[in-house]
Structure formats: structure tokens, C-alpha cells
Structure 1
Amino acid sequence: MNKINPLGVHWLVLTKTWDSDGARHAIREAKRIGYDFIETPPTPVGDEVTEVTRQLLAETGMGAAVCLGLSADQDLTSPDPEIRARGEAFLMGAVDTCARIGGSLVSGITYSAFQKYMLPCPADGRTASIAAIARVARHAKSLGITIGLEVVNRYETNLLNTAEQALAFCNETGMENVKIHLDSYHMNIEETDIQQAILKAGDRIGFFHIGDSNRGYLGAGNIDFNPFIRALFQAGYTGPISFESFSSTMIDQPLLGILGIWRDTWEDGKDLAEHSFTFMEALVKSGREAHRRALGRVA
């Protein structure tokens, strides 16, 4: 993903299953629409679908990011060392898969379980997660892979709910290839000042998700995306921007329950993906122009 602000799409917009047929369909559709990369799940490195994904990405010239959420039995903040070890091993495998398919980023809820917690994260849980992410990042660095920490709302983790928390976590890993993954859907819930949060995260931002408040069509919710985009450009962000959306037409349990998707937010993934690409392309163009004019670079 060498292009400035390459645009991507999550695989669950275009296919319900990431098997060989699903991967072929999603990658080819994303390419046809105009996306620069696709978010894929962390399939085992030796699986047939991983090889199909690698071949299709090479054939189409598409980039890739491997995105995930750790399960309860992979929680890096757990007091159980066996659970933490499973989570770390899973992340190491995701890094290997990302390298195998030619991707550049492993991101998502990589630092804790993707679930609702009933208690705050204890200090020793946070410390254990930082240490594990640092080890994963060292392996990733040897393969040219970046590790992202997705900042999500309080109902999906008890550890990183704000950009400020993620920035401190990143710094404590001591690894420059650990980056902050921001998401408009989650920031709309948790941040006091969205623009200041983005500016403070600055050059530690490595990935940005665009999603509306209802997780449906961009512009059909209540989020004003202009402040997000303008702040990203003000912060000098040149990295990937991706569309993520979920509907009960496309996902099943346990993801359905974790996300709380109780209705069809959309029915036609192809139409949604086409609309979202057009929306993002226009948003990025207008944001760049606004930033250029704010700097006085008017022709």
C-alpha cells in the first residue's frame, strides 16, 4: 500500500464466508469497484484459502490488511498464562499469514479479548498485554509488518477506548511498528474532542476505519466525517483508510452478538461497497482540498 491514503474495504461487506470462493469473489469485487486493498481474516498460513488469497492479491495488485479480534481464550490481559500464550501465538500466526499474502498490517482488537468486560482491566493485565504486543511487534518488524491497536468502545474492550490510552500503550511497547488504529464509529462514542484526539495521536496513527453511527451506509447515520478527515490531514496522515460495516444479513454468532447487530443495517453488500467507495473518495478529496487551502496553498 504505497499510495497516499489507499482506500480499503472489510471482507464482510462483500462475502459472508472467507473460503476460497468467498475470497475470490471479495477480492475481485473490491478491485472492480476501485479499492486499493481489502481487509482479510487471519486464516492459518498453510490453508488453501491463504494461498488463494495470496494468488488473487498478486494477480489483481490489491493490498491487504489482516484484521481480527482476540477471543476470551486468547486474552492478553488474562491472569492465566496459558490463555495469554494462546493469544500471543495466534497473533504470531496472523503476522506470518499477513506476510505470506503480501499484506502490510495486522490490526484490530489485538491487545485484549473482543468482548464486554464486567470489570476494569487490572494494571498487571495491561502490563502483560504490552509485553506480549512488544514481542509480536519484534517478529512483525522482521517481516515488514505493522501491528495496529484498534481503539474501540467500552462494550468491546476495557483497555483501549480512547486515542490517548492507545498512545500511551504504543509508547510503552517501545516498538515503532506498533501503531494506533482509529475508527470513526468508536470515536463518535468515546472521544470528548475528536479532532484533538487525532492530532494528539499524530504520527502514531497507522490505520483508520470509517463507519457510520448505525454501521450502515455512510451518510445514513449521524456522524459528520469532515472533522475526522480534516484532522487526519492536519496530523499529516498518509496511511490507509478503510470502510467497515456489519449487517445481520452477512454475519452470524458469535460476532453478531458481540457487535450487537440485531437488525439488517443493509441487504446488498455490492451496492454498499460501491456507495462507500464513492463516498470515501469524495471525502478524502474534499479533505485534502480543505487542508491545502487552510495552509494557504491556493493556486
Structure 2
Amino acid sequence: MALDIKLAVSTWLWTSPFSSDTISLFPKIKEMGYDAVEIPVEDPTIIDTRTVEKALKDNGLAPIICAAFGPSRDLTHEDPGFHQTSFDYIQACFDISASLGAEFVAGPMYSAVGKARLVSPEQKKVEWDRAVNNLRKVCKMAEKSGQKIALEALNRFETDLVNTTSDLMRLISDINHPAARVLLDGFHMNIEEPSIEAAIFQAGDKLIHVQVSENHRGTPGTGQTRWEDFKSGLEKVNYQGAVSIESFTPEIKELAGAVCIWRPLAESQDKFASEGFNFLKNWAKN
């Protein structure tokens, strides 16, 4: 059975941060065959939505907005000032998403990426409750902006709070707001999930975005991912959103250091994107 999906790629594959100038990648992305482009919003102030909107239309690409959570954006921090910084940033992401005609903002909004420690059960509960309460506020912000949020579980080396789809579904249950939805990333799932298929099935109709790369962050089809199980899971939940390649370039040192990419993962980033597209197109059809 063929999957009824869009194929997308993140501009993080080539550059960081995304700015209005990054639209120069759009013609190449469209020429490769992609339906959509994933736009990571690191600094909202360097994105002119009118410029980006025109480039999207000119190239026939749909936008997907992803948020980035560095150390200052942490809804589980003990200092409420960090929460306000996060709220302001997330609202800016909602504004960009709404302006470009996208429907959600995706990412691990509950905590700063890289906040991975061994803490007591009591401390973990405090941080969990902060995440729930603050994300409920974020969901209300999303609703006012006509948006949803797609929350993402990260592997154990990037967070100690939400590692599995089970964790994520419990978080969404505790938030208890219709705007709270799911993003599943195959890279993290390959580390944390006993079964990719079962994890997707568990997400069910809450799943609104999917990111992929190989288990080593490389080009889809070159590693150990169980792609048949991945497809079976998406078929079972009748997933019809985008499947987006998310990986990173070793050429941008700050980004490469943040995601621990110490070597090239393909002959070139263009080849990564084009070969990844060809693999995913065949995978979705066959």
C-alpha cells in the first residue's frame, strides 16, 4: 500500500540559522522533488515572513515550522524568567507559522535540549509538573493563534524528561488540551523504542509530523532503520502528513557541535537530500 504523504527536508541539512536569505535553497529543494520545506526558527527576528511566503509560493513548497530550544528556552527551569523567555519565543514561532499558512509548530518544547541529568524522582516530578503547566499555557497560546504544537521525544543523551512515545503520550494526557499533538523522529526512536511500529501505533491520531534520518543521522536507506516497520506503523494510523528529513551539516560548527556530528554523513549535503528523497519516494510507494 502506498503512503499518502508529503516529503519534506529541513534547511538544517545545509545551513543554520534560517534567515530570509535561506530562501535561496528553495529552488533546489523543489527541483529535487520535495513537496515541503522544514523551517527551523532559531532567531525569529531574522525571518521576514513576506519574503519567505513569496519564495514558498514561487517554488510551490509548503512550510513546516520547527522550534529550537537552547539553554535559555526551558519551561522546566526553576526561574520563571526562563519560562517567559520561552513563551515569547514560542509566540513568535506561532506568528511566523500562521503568517506562512502552516498549521503547527514542532519541537521538544518542554525543556532545553541537552538538559540530561540524573535527578531524584522528587525533582523529576517537579520539572514534569512545570512542563505540564507551562505547556498547557502554550496550548492556549496556540489555540488563539490558530495553531497546534507537535511535541517531540528526544533520546536519553538530549533530555532526561521525555524519551519515548510512552513518555510523550503521558505528557499529552496530563496537558489535556486538543492543541497538544505528536512529532515522532526516527533518529530518536531508533535509540529509545523497542519497536518503531508499536511506537507509531501508540501515537495514533495525535501524530501530525514525522522526521527521519538513519540511525547514524545519515541518508535514509543507508543504515539500520527498519523501514518496513516504519511504513507499517504509519499505515496503521492512516498518517497523511509530511515525512521530513532532518539532519545537519558538519560545516556549521556551532550546530554540528550541538548535535554531535563530527564527520560528513554523505558525499555532499545536496547528495544527502537528493538520494534521501529518492529512497523515501520509493519507500512510500512500494
TM-score calculated relative to the size of structure 2: 0.91
The structure-2 alpha-carbon separation of the partners of 1:194 and 1:19, relative to structure 1 and needing over 3 Å to count, comes to closer
Contact 1:67 1:106 in 2 (8 A): yes
Q: CA deviation at 1:47?
A: 4.3
Aligned to 1:289: none
What is the rounded CA distance, in whole Å, between the counterparts of 1:10 and 1:48 in structure 2? 16
With 57-66 and 45-54 compared, the bigger mean Cα shift is at 45-54
Q: Which residue of 2 aligns with 1:297?
A: none
| C-alpha distance in structure 2 between counterparts of 1:97 and 1:113, whole Å | 21
Which residue of structure 2 aligns with residue 62 of structure 1? 61
Q: Map 1:48-197 to 2 at 5 A.
A: 49-120=48-119, 122-197=124-199
d(CA) in 2 for partners of 1:71 and 1:123?
22
Deviations 1:70-91 (A, max 9, x none): 1112111111111122112211
Pick which of 208-217 and 265-274 moved more.
265-274
Aligned position for 2:10: 10
Deviation at 1:258, TM superposition (A): 2.4
- Of 230, 233, 244, the residue aligned with 2:232 is 230
Deviation at 1:231, TM superposition (A): 1.0
Report the Cα distance in structure 1 between the residues aligned to 2:229 and 2:257, rounded to whole angstroms. Answer: 31
Structure 1 position 48, deviation (Å):
5.3
Residue pair 1:43, 1:97 contacting (<8 A) in 2 also: no
Identity %: 28
Tell which deviates more after alignment, 116-125 or 172-181.
Answer: 116-125
Residue 20 of structure 1 corresponds to: 20
Unaligned runs of 5+ in 1: 287-299
Distance 1:123-1:16 versus aligned 2 partners, 3 A rule: closer
Q: Deviations 1:158-186 (Å, cap 9, x if unpaired)?
A: 11110011111112222222111111111
Contact 1:185-1:211 within 8 A present in 2 as well: yes
Cross-structure match for 2:205: 203
Distance 1:183 1:35 in 2: 18
The answer as to whether partners of 1:216 and 1:247 remain within 8 angstroms in 2 is no
1:219 is matched with 221
> Which amino acid is 1:278 matched to?
N
- Structure 1 CA distance for aligned equivalents of residues 224 and 172 of structure 2: 30
The residue matched to 1:51 in structure 2 has which SS? helix
Q: Which moved more, 1:23-32 or 1:112-121?
A: 112-121
CA distance in 2, matches of 1:221, 1:126: 34
* 2:272 aligned residue: 272
- C-alpha spacing 1:267/1:116, structure 2 compared with 1 (3 Å): farther
Give the conservation status (yes or no) of the 8 Å contact 1:116–1:154: no
CA change 1:77–1:116 in 2 (3 A) is closer
Matched, 1:244 2:254: no
Are residues 69 and 140 of structure 1, via their aligned partners in 2, closer, same or farther at CA, if it must alter by over 3 Å?
same
Structure 2: which amino acid aligns with 1:93? A
Q: For 1:53, give the aligned amino acid.
A: V
Does the CA-based 8 Å contact 1:150-1:181 persist in structure 2?
A: yes
The answer as to whether partners of 1:149 and 1:181 remain within 8 angstroms in 2 is yes
Are 2:14 and 2:249, in contact at CA under 8 Å, matched by a contact in 1?
A: no
Which consecutive unaligned segments of at least 5 residues does structure 2 have? none
Moved more, 206-215 or 100-109: 100-109
Given that 1:247 and 1:267 are in contact with CA atoms closer than 8 Å, whether structure 2 keeps it comes out as: no
Aligned CA RMSD, in angstroms, stands at 2.0
User: Would the aligned equivalents of 2:189 and 2:196 in 1 still touch at CA under 8 Å?
Assistant: yes
| TM-aligned CA deviation for residue 103 of structure 1 | 1.8
